[in-house]
Amino acid sequence: MKPRHIPMRTCVVCRDKKPKQELLRIVRTPEGEVRVDSGGRLSGRGGYVCSTEDWGDRQIRAKLGHALKTELTQADIERLSNEAGED
Ligand SMILES: [Zn+2]
């Protein structure tokens, strides 16, 4: 039997490689909104973050902002944290 291929992605915050389903996809849409892409089908520049990542960590804002090539405000982080906690 062939081993099942598990798609791996790298978390932009801690640089760990994890199966895609253990990560959240964060997307900056063409409108400039930053969203948690829970359906996996938003277009725009995206990055992956562990679903267990600590949104209170000061590093997350800079690292995620860098990955998405945008400036994130503390309000963005709080909104993402709320969206991330919904599922
Ligand atoms: Zn991580």
3-state helix, strand, coil in the chain (%, to 5): 30, 25, 45
Q: Which residue ranges make up each domain of the chain?
A: 8-82
Q: How many CA atoms lie within 13 A of 63 on its CB side?
A: 17
Q: Tell me the per-residue pLDDT of 33-53, one tens digit each, with 9 for 90 and over.
A: 999 998 888 999 999 999 999
Give me the pLDDT at residue 86, please: 64
Residues 6+ apart with CB under 8 A from 11: 17, 18, 23, 48, 49, 50, 53
**CATH, domain range 8-82:** 3.30.1230.10
Q: State the distance from the centre of ligand 1 to the C-alpha of 58, rounded, in angstroms.
A: 13
Q: Tell me the per-residue pLDDT of 1-27, one tens digit each, with 9 for 90 and over.
A: 777 888 999 999 999 999 999 999 999
Q: Tell me the per-residue pLDDT of 49-78, one tens digit each, with 9 for 90 and over.
A: 999 999 998 899 999 999 999 999 999 999
Give me the pLDDT at residue 87, please: 53
Q: State the distance from the centre of ligand 1 to the C-alpha of 3, rounded, in angstroms.
A: 25
Q: State the distance from the centre of ligand 1 to the C-alpha of 1, rounded, in angstroms.
A: 32
CA 59 to chain centre: 14
Q: State the distance from the centre of ligand 1 to the C-alpha of 56, rounded, in angstroms.
A: 13
